[in-house]
Structure 1
Amino acid sequence: MKDEGPFVLEWVAYHRSIGVSDFVIVSNDCTDGTDLILDRLDDMGWIRHLPNPTMLGLGDVPIQHTAIAYAQMTKEFRRADWALVIDADEFLNINVGDGTLAALLAEVGDIDAISFNQVVFGSSGVDEFIDMPTLQQFTRRFRFERPMSERFPRMYGIKTLARNDAGLFRRHANHRPIPFARKVSELRWLDGSGAHMPEEFCAKAPRGYRTEAGTHALGYINHYAVRSVESFMIQSFRGDAVSAAVRRDLRYWRQYDRNDVVDATILGNAERAARLHAALMEDAELRELHLRAVEQHRQKLKTGLKNAEVRALYDEILASRALTSG
């Protein structure tokens, strides 16, 4: 995480509410107090917070790759039965039973991995950065049911819940675990529809995949890639965790501001998550850190918009935005 302060508590509360028992969160170069929020959550026993080794300046290694590799050295990760690598703008949306990990694992039985599609949610027409839950604000998404095409190559990314078995997987990467070649034919690997993945997928390690039926009966990852226009502008100051070549510009906005259909399925877990969120906010120190991060974001936007290039991008987005209907 970097500068995700206003969104951290909702993200942690939601995933705890669906049954995540342990969090290993790696942060870098925070300027809005995200690291302080994570430190407090660590002190309270909710998460394990680590600084990203890239801040030592020991080499030109991608920030995200380093974070994932480092997290796998912790006792929490090594002791885990299952592992899922996701980002602060991603929420696991389980579509079976009561929406919990326990219900999901009971449904699928004895398997080794499930690769869920990252379903992109757009801005839902929201311009302003508002301090309220992401899940309630942004309820329109890309129509993943359509046939996969070259026009939308990034709309079918995956994130994988995998058994933390060192005998099967060499390591866990951002999108999926990397299996030992000798184990590929033995893997019981499902997609988000519940269908078995082809052996070719297991062997070649692609980062994207579309379920053959275009369905997500087990679930998917709600990916809030842009949030509001103002939040997107703040993201553009931060840069990308994987590659400096990925720019948060008008092209990126147009690609990820997908508002094809309404999807509020994740709100089925909202009440359970809201109770945990409220409990976190009862901690005076944590509440103060959260409110300070919110104010920091507002100040970042105000300062950033004084820059002519930033202002031009902001005006271009506002001028070009239009919700895609049906």
Structure 2
Amino acid sequence: MKFLAVLTVRNEAAFLLEWLAHHRAVGFTDFLVFSNDCQDGTDTMLDRLDAMGLVTHVRNDGPYAKGGIQFTALKAAADMAPVQQADWILPLDVDEFVNIHTGDHTLPALLAALPDATAITLTWRLFGNAGAIRYEDRPVTQTFTRAAPNVLYWPWRASMFKTLYRNDGTYAKLGVHRPRSPNKDRLENARWFDGEGRALDRKFATNRIFSPYGRPNHALVQLNHYPLGAMETYVLKADRGRAVHSDHMLDLDYWVERNFSTDDDRTVQRLAPQMQAELDRLKADPQLSDLHQQAVTWRKSRFETLLKREPFRALFGRLLMTPPTRPVSQRAARYLVHHANLGRNSDPD
């Protein structure tokens, strides 16, 4: 059984080895990784990992399609051998970690719990900043343990999912959140389930990208999403640019909608021993170890450079002044949704 993770990265070498080690422990067998315009050695690290037979590295240096950097990479991936040969596929970002709650916490255990599934939605659980200011070279999954409540009522973006799907020809193309270009003759046999193990209705097979919010979505599996990191890391993320909306600089709106820190969730650490063993093996390679340390040094140096520029210095100052995000009550969320529906249904004139 081939489980393929597809990843797009830029200037993420300091985080890449942990991400790879964790997902090897989860049960992914293959990795197709696209890099673009890296200054921190991410592309060189991926070249080394490719030479070691651990990933397939593709440089995604442009030009880019209208949908942006990540869309361009996923569009190209459809015709590549790792995708053609995969049994199951999951496009991910480097700040997303699969966290399985059933069996031995691996992909085969998840499929055993949902034997009829041809697609499984992995709903985000957002992990907030929790007051971390400076970047430290420590595993993300052990540094950030404060998360959003298991049930959120707002915003809908907090309930977005990524899709683990069987590569059986039902979908011809990869998508950021869900597979695209369905084969209408095969859709009848598509069986979508959510992270609670609930069978999903037919509309999920063609056009949904977020789970119904205001209810639990994580009993069997969740996608730990660490979109912020330390404040220093977030400034570098703003400098790096967005993979989808690359012309939009990250600011406080993105931060506030994701900086939930009300609950403690350390469940991903059940695989910490296996992840650490994989990480130790990776860092035993002298070239990978050196590239990792160079990336850590680069991040520190780049942050000092950015603080000399007003947009980034102002952003860092605002982060220091902004408290953790307060979850919206169910009543307030209903009020917002009501007016959102009014706006959607009103005459645009």
Whether the TM-score (by the shorter chain) exceeds 0.5 is yes
- The alpha-carbon distance between structure 1 residues 182 and 59, as it changes in their structure 2 partners (threshold 3 A), is closer
**Secondary structure class of the residue paired with 2:321:** helix
**286-295 vs 66-75, which deviates more?**
66-75
1:195-214 matches, cutoff 5 A: 195-203=198-206, 205-210=207-212, 213-214=215-216
Classify 1:309/1:38 alpha carbon distance in 2 versus 1 (closer, same or farther; 3 Å).
same
The correspondence for 2:17, drawn from 9, 16, 34, is 9
Q: 1:305–1:35: structure 2 CA closer, same or farther, 3 Å change rule?
A: same
Amino acid at match of 1:157: M
Residue in structure 2 matching 1:309, options 302, 311, 317: 311
Q: Which residue of 1 aligns with 2:332?
A: none
Aligned residue for 1:87?
93
Amino acid at match of 1:155: A
- Partner of residue 98, structure 1: 104
CA contact (8 A) 1:5 1:33 kept: yes
The amino acid that maps onto 2:228 is V
TM-score by length of 1: 0.93
Query: Which residue, out of 181, 185, 191, partners 2:184?
Result: 181
Closer, same or farther in 2 for the Cα pair 1:79/1:298, shift >3 Å? same
Aligned-partner Cα distance in 2 for 1:242–1:195: 30
Please, which of 123, 132, 136 is the counterpart of residue 129 of structure 2? 123
Structure 1 position 58, deviation (Å): 6.5
| Equivalent residues of 1:11, 1:88 under 8 A apart | yes
The aligned amino acid for 2:290 is E
How far 1:260 sits from its partner (Å)? 1.8
User: Counterparts of 1:1-326 in structure 2 under 5 Å?
Assistant: 1-52=9-60, 55-57=61-63, 60-146=66-152, 148-149=153-154, 152-166=155-169, 168-178=170-180, 179-203=182-206, 205-210=207-212, 213-322=215-324
Paired with 1:315 and 1:67, the residues of 2 have a C-alpha distance of: 34
Give SS of 2:222's match: strand
DSSP-derived class of the 1:311 partner: helix
Distance 1:57 1:109 in 2: 41
1:262-313 per-residue CA deviation (whole Å, 9 max, x = no partner) reads 1111000111000000111111111000000111111110000011221111
Does the C-alpha gap of structure 1 residues 309 and 246 become closer, same or farther in structure 2, counting only changes over 3 Å? closer
Among all aligned residue pairs of Structure 1 and Structure 2, give the percentage whose two residues are the same amino acid. 35
Shift of 1:130: 0.3
Q: By how many angstroms is 1:106 displaced?
A: 1.4
> What secondary structure, in the 3-state scheme, does the structure 1 residue paired with 2:186 have?
helix
Amino acid at match of 2:320: L
Specify the code of the residue in structure 1 equivalent to 2:238: S
- The range that moved more, 207-216 or 246-255, is 207-216
Unaligned runs of 5+ in 1: none
- The separation in 1 between residues aligned to 2:86 and 2:327, in whole angstroms, is 43
TM-score, structure 2 normalization: 0.87
Deviation of residue 190 (structure 1)? Answer: 0.2
The superposition leaves residues 43-84 of structure 1 with CA deviations (integer Å, 9 ceiling, x where unpaired) of 1111110011xx243655510011112222221111110000
Distance 1:210 1:79, change over 3 A: same
Kindly provide the CA deviation profile for residues 13-60 of structure 1, in whole angstroms up to 9, marking residues without a partner as x. 0000111000000000001101011111111111110011xx243655
Instruction: Supply the AA of the counterpart residue of 1:91.
Output: F
2:25 counterpart letter in structure 1? S
For residue 123 of structure 1, what is the amino acid of its counterpart? Answer: N
**For residues 229 and 213 of structure 1, what CA distance do their matches in structure 2 show?**
30
Q: SS of the residue aligned with 1:256?
A: coil
> 2:12 and 2:183 mapped to 1: Cα distance?
35
